[in-house]
Chains A and B, each alone.
Chain A
Amino acid sequence: MIFFWAFVVGGIICVIGQIMFDVFKLSPGHTLSILVVAGAILDGLGWYDPLIDFAGAGATVPITNFGNSLVHGAMQEADKHGIIGVITGMFEVTSSGISAAIIFGFIGALLFKPKG
């Protein structure tokens, strides 16, 4: 069942992005930035974790999860070390996305030649 909800919730988040593209005529950069900020705020309100439990990858794969896991990392560390933890723990949870993008980006640049 979680496969179905992952499909539906992920699809709905993409439709929200598509509406921002087409109806509000925003560039992809603006759209993605707004979605990331929305993810961070939703996690601040405590609504994102229930969504992950409900939809699994439907909530963790869209870019909104990036904002969510940034807040998660910051809060985890802030619980241990107070206000300083907000800065030191920022990338604790989300490191996989950034490091994977950097590492595979560089490997891609080594392997592939630009086309067109």
Chain B
Amino acid sequence: MADKKKKNLPPIAQKYQSFQDKREVKRPVVKNCIKAFFVGGFICFIGQLITTFYIHFFHFTEQTAGNPTVATLIFITMLLTGFGVYDRFGQFAGAGTAVPVTGFGNAVISACIEHRTEGFVLGVGGNMFKLAGSVVLFGVFSAFVVALIKTLLSNWGVI
């Protein structure tokens, strides 16, 4: 894709592009991955603590305990985002904080808080899913396609 983009540019811009590529700071991939591994693992560890709590005290099963765990984690995210701590974690950990469900919660909640000055209807209501909307859209659509295929196959007796 990058090559195609380069071809359409005038020669001076191509020169600039290669100059820029040379000067671009290399991302410390391994270091970032290690950080993401430990922070992400730690969030899932806390999730496991909450899950165990729900299984023992509220009689959820291993499969259904995921739901209250997610809700609890999003509640904790609300507090951390509101006090401005979460984005500092996010800068440190990259995908470690973005990939767990707390990242989804943070996207919604930070959009809510950010647009509050524009009013509750047009600001908060309208911009709530500004960042998280793509996750909902592609999640729902892919789930629709997968479930449709599975249902049709089982109706025809293939599986």
CB of A14 within 8 A of CB of B74, answer: no
CB of B36 within 8 A of CB of A15, answer: yes
Partner of B99, one of A3, A29, A32, A107: A32
CB of A32 within 8 A of CB of B47, answer: no
How would residues 33 to 57 of chain B score, 1 for a CB under 8 Å from any chain A CB and 0 otherwise? 1011111111111011111000000
Q: How many residues of B contact A (CB 8 A)?
A: 81
B37 surroundings in chain A (CB, below 8 A): 11-12, 14-15
CB of A44 within 8 A of CB of B149, answer: yes
CB of A37 within 8 A of CB of B70, answer: no
A 65-101 contacts with B by CB, 8 A? 65-67, 69-71, 73-75, 78, 82-83, 85-87, 90, 93-101
How would residues 112 to 146 of chain B score, 1 for a CB under 8 Å from any chain A CB and 0 otherwise? 11111100100010001001101111111011101
Query: Secondary structure of the A side of the interface?
Result: helix
Q: CB-nearest residue of chain B relative to A70? A: B143
B81 surroundings in chain A (CB, below 8 A): 108, 112
CB of B70 within 8 A of CB of A100, answer: yes
B8 on the interface (CB 8 Å rule)? no
Residues of B within 8 A of A (CB): 27, 29, 32-33, 35-45, 47-51, 62-63, 65-71, 73-75, 77-78, 81-84, 94-96, 98-105, 108-109, 111-117, 120, 124, 128, 131-132, 134-140, 142-144, 146-152, 155
